[in-house]
Amino acid sequence: MKRCPQCLFLYPDSDENCDFDKTPLETVDESALDVAIGGRKRRVTPIAIVAGLILVVLVFAIYFAAVRSGRKPSTPIPVESTVVPVAAPPSLVTLPSPSPSIVPSPSPSPSPKINSANVSTAHTRATFDPVSTSGPGIAKRQGGKPVIMLTSGGKIEADEVWRTRDGVWYRRNGMVTLLKPGQVKTIVTR
């Protein structure tokens, strides 16, 4: 190993000049390096031990102060004891259980007659009457099976199709579905 006489920086044997101050390097024995390095280690070790002990004592003091401040006082506080009379619970009144009786259920009332001129097919009103999908649909009028041609290029084969202001309704395999008016291109019959 070589060492710079000015800055005492260590270099490998292949270097000739110091990189920092460009002075020629001196060859140093390994024993001199061990003494120089060992001296530093001996000074650092006691300092690290002392710093560690101080840190441990400081942490213990903080912990002890925190535990001590949270502790309840050791002398008991006298508490006056007074006896408060408790009222007796109210007596429970038992009611006779109702006996089962047979009462005929009310018969369903017929739905009121609706004028067919006022019936809207928009399906937007609330009603208690059942919805019928077997009305005069396009398939019934034209005599074939309707096919709905969609604007997206697809087609739907339906059992029945009818138009309302909400869009085009169709029934297929017992399921009724609404298509928005912008989704339907045309309806053809096979």
Average of pLDDT values for 114-121? 52
Average of pLDDT values for 158-185? 90
Higher-pLDDT residue of 17, 103: 17
Higher-pLDDT residue of 168, 102: 168
Amino acid residing at 26: E
Domains of the chain: 2-70 (no CATH), 133-189 (2.30.30.100)
Average of pLDDT values for 144-150? 88
- State the pLDDT confidence band at 156, using cuts at 50, 70 and 90: very high
Average of pLDDT values for 74-84? 60
pLDDT of residue 148: 92
Q: Which residues contact 131 (CB under 8 A, 6 or more apart)?
A: 123, 176
Higher-pLDDT residue of 82, 5: 5
* Cα–Cα separations (whole angstroms), residue 117 to 113, 114, 162: 12, 9, 18
pLDDT of residue 129: 45
Does residue 155 sit in helix, strand or coil?
Answer: strand
User: Mean pLDDT for the chain?
Assistant: 74
**What would you measure as the largest C-alpha separation in the chain, in angstroms?**
122
Average of pLDDT values for 74-103? 62
pLDDT of residue 114: 53
Average of pLDDT values for 65-88? 66
